[in-house]
Amino acid sequence: MRRYSLEEWRDLARAFYDVRLKTDRRIFAAEAEFAGAGRLILTKVRFTPLIFSRDPANITDFDRNYLLFERYDSGAGRGVVNETPTKVDERTLHVVDMSQRYATSTTAVHSSGVLIPHEVIGFDPSRDAHYASVSRSKPRARLLETALDALEASLAEGSLQEIGDLADAFVGLVQRLLLRCREDSELQSAKVTLDLALREHIESRLNESDLSVDQLCHRFGLSRASLYRRFQEDGGVEHYIAGRRLDRCLLELCAAQPVRGQVKTVADRWGFTDPGNFSRRFRERFGVAPTDCLAACAAPTSVTAGKQHLVHYWMRKHRR
């Protein structure tokens, strides 16, 4: 893998993200390698703890319509894509729509992934989920990993025809086994369940001060005990609501200007009136202080590459 300085890493990542350190600049370390497989880009990266944020409006002169399929061999990350919470570690595979607003906080990470253009996989941002994940213990995840391993091996051993065939097969598996899994009958029927209705109600009212256990019980005709049982795996309904509000804070802070009072403004908007409590809960969830996320926007995020296709820019500038 090629080693990168912080400035080189920011330049490399800026086509996709704004990058902010979570550790002392002197101990920053990052390595990466990538290769083309048809219209796909295969990546391997290692880096020290970071905050990544993305606002498509700030990523200029690049094709933004990519999916990132990724597996973590070590490390973890937690954040939000658009309004969907994300939690990734070495036990899961995930796919992220890179055309959406995105923010995440990571530990030290070693990962491999594939960038897939929307049109190659038939992805429609207006219809398809912007984030999906699956446990690596599931049979479909093992099949996806086998296909990824075969594709990576073909780069060194296969012909262009074989690489192309394996790339097409891998895209088909991601499409059917990860993205379209939401169309399975089990998940279709779940759309009308009370659990989903509860979560949709909470999502639409996260910024309302009267969102509470009592309000939910009254709205859905549930006892407190019944409501608590439905959120037991989430740590309780209050914990779930607070977590989703913190996710919104992360997304806003990573997109906000670093001006005085901005953290308090964002915290107040999402119902956190005690600054100390907000800072503690934010750090517990994301492993970083709210002010560090805000500082991620201090550097310009606009990128110019002569309006060239992203793949071509990467291949020319960052090939070893």
189-209 tens-digit pLDDT: 444 478 888 888 999 999 888
151 or 315, which is more confident? 151
- Each residue's pLDDT tens digit, 273-304: 999 999 999 999 999 999 888 754 444 444 44
Q: Is the pLDDT of residue 29 over 90?
A: yes
Helix extents (H) in the chain: 6-13, 118-121, 139-157, 160-173, 185-190, 194-204, 213-220, 224-230, 237-253, 262-269, 275-286, 290-294, 310-318
3-state secondary structure of 256: coil
Residue 39's nearest CA partner among 118, 132, 99 is: 118
Instruction: Tell me the C-alpha to C-alpha distance, in Å, between residue 204 and each of 125, 175, 244.
Output: 20, 29, 11
Task: Locate 89 and state its tokens.
Answer: 């570690």
Q: Which pair of structure tokens corresponds to residue 208?
A: 């309302």
In the chain, where the domains are located: 2-183+300-318, 191-297
From the candidate CATH numbers 2.60.120.10, 3.40.50.720, 3.90.1150.10, 3.10.450.50, the one assigned to the domain spanning 2-183+300-318: 2.60.120.10
Averaged pLDDT score across all residues of the chain: 84
Show the beta-strand stretches assigned E in 7-75: 18-21, 30-37, 40-47, 50-54, 66-74
Q: Point out the least confidently predicted range of 10-24, 167-181, 186-200, 272-286.
A: 186-200
Does residue 68 carry a pLDDT above 90? yes
Whole-number pLDDT of residue 156: 86
57, exposed or middle or buried, with CB in 10 Å at 0-12, 13-18, 19+? exposed
Q: What is the pTM of this model?
A: 0.83
Classify residue 38 as left (phi > 0), alpha (psi -120 to 50) or beta.
left
> Binning pLDDT at 50, 70 and 90, where does residue 129 land?
confident
Rounded to whole angstroms, how far apart are CA atoms 36 and 312?
10
Both structure tokens of 82: 């658009």
pLDDT score for 210:
86
Question: Which amino acid is it at 281?
Answer: R
**CATH homologous superfamily of 191-297:** Homeodomain-like (1.10.10.60)
Residue with token string 């913190």: 246
* Cβ-based neighbours of 184, under 8 Å, separated by 6 or more: none
Look-up: residue for tokens 């100390």? 276
In this structure, the strands spanning 92-97 and 66-74 are: antiparallel
DSSP state at residue 188: H
